[in-house]
């Protein structure tokens, strides 16, 4: 039996169970190709974070920290487009913040490093507290606690865009275990920069 499906004018209807071929000159539309844009974006983001994690763990800061740091408090140091000055260090703080919704309790004790950051370059740059690290006497590395820093310097606790020639103040907070003391801080103008070491004693 012939199928009831429609066929191009001038051609017999297709026979069921037989392979169908388009007659010469008759265009059979192809299904649209699926877009891989979203998949490519997701893959790109994942690759970025993998590379960032690898860079953060490669060549570890502990090796770098074993070298004596020449700079101390109130001494300008430079890394990339930024000039840093560590102005003060607070240690042994259990809680930061007066707002009950933002207040943060330390797992051990907070060390707060106060500093100024000046853009000495010729274009805007972003200061990222998450790129800064402190090390204790045992060479252990600690990253900042952005949630705690929100109680101190909210405008620079996560990210601060600095135009050329401008300076911002920041309080970078680190949660160290009880009995541990921050000896040095490694300051970076970006996640992938070489960094510069400042003694905190």
pLDDT-derived band at 56 (thresholds 50, 70, 90) equals: very low
Per-residue pLDDT, averaged over 55-81, amounts to: 65
Q: Examine residue 8 and state whether it is found in any structural domain, yes or no.
A: no
User: How many independent structural domains does the chain possess?
Assistant: 1
Q: Is residue 152 part of a domain?
A: yes
In a domain, 137, yes or no: yes
Average pLDDT over residues 45-54: 50
**Domain residues for 176?**
61-199
pLDDT band at 65 (very low <50, low <70, confident <90, very high): very low
| Prediction pTM value | 0.67
Q: Is residue 24 part of a domain?
A: no
Instruction: Answer whether residue 150 is part of any domain.
Output: yes
Provide φ and ψ at 125, rounded to 5°. Answer: -135, 155
The CA distance from 73 to 197, in Å, is 11
pLDDT digits (tens, 9 = 90+) for 133-147: 999 999 999 999 999
pLDDT for position 12 = 59
Closest alpha carbon to 119 in 64, 70, 176, 79: 79
Q: For residue 87, how many other CB atoms are within 10 A of its CB?
A: 12
CATH of the domain at 137: 2.60.40.1240
Q: Which of 55 and 107 is assigned the larger pLDDT? A: 107
107 in a structural domain: yes
103-139 burial, b at 16+ Cβ within 10 Å, e below that, comes to: ebebeebbbbbbbbbbbbbeeebebbbbbbbbbbeee
Q: Is residue 32 in a domain?
A: no
Task: Output the pLDDT for position 13.
Answer: 60
DSSP state of 138: T
pLDDT band at 69 (very low <50, low <70, confident <90, very high): low
Residue 99 is assigned to a structural domain of this protein = yes
CA atoms of 197 and 72, how far apart (whole Å): 9
pLDDT digits (tens, 9 = 90+) for 101-122: 999 999 999 999 999 999 999 9
């Amino acid at each position: 039996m012939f199928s009831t499906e429609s066929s191009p004018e001038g051609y017999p209807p297709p026979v069921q169970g037989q392979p169908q071929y388009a007659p010469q000159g008759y265009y059979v539309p192809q299904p649209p190709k699926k877009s891989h844009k979203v998949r490519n974006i997701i893959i790109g983001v994942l690759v970025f974070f993998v590379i960032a994690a690898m860079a953060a763990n490669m060549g570890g800061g502990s090796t770098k920290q074993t070298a004596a740091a020449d700079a101390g408090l109130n001494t300008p140091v430079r890394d990339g487009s930024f000039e840093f000055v560590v102005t003060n260090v607070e240690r042994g703080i259990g809680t930061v913040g007066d707002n009950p919704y933002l207040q943060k309790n330390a797992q051990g004790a907070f060390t707060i490093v106060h500093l100024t950051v000046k853009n000495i370059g010729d274009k805007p740059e972003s200061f990222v507290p998450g790129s800064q690290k402190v090390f204790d006497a045992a060479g252990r590395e600690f990253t900042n606690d952005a949630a705690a820093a929100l109680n101190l310097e909210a405008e620079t606790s996560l990210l601060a865009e600095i135009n050329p020639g401008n300076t911002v103040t920041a309080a970078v907070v680190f949660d160290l275990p009880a009995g541990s003391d921050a000896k040095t801080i490694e300051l970076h103008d970006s996640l992938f920069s070489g960094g510069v070491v400042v003694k905190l004693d």
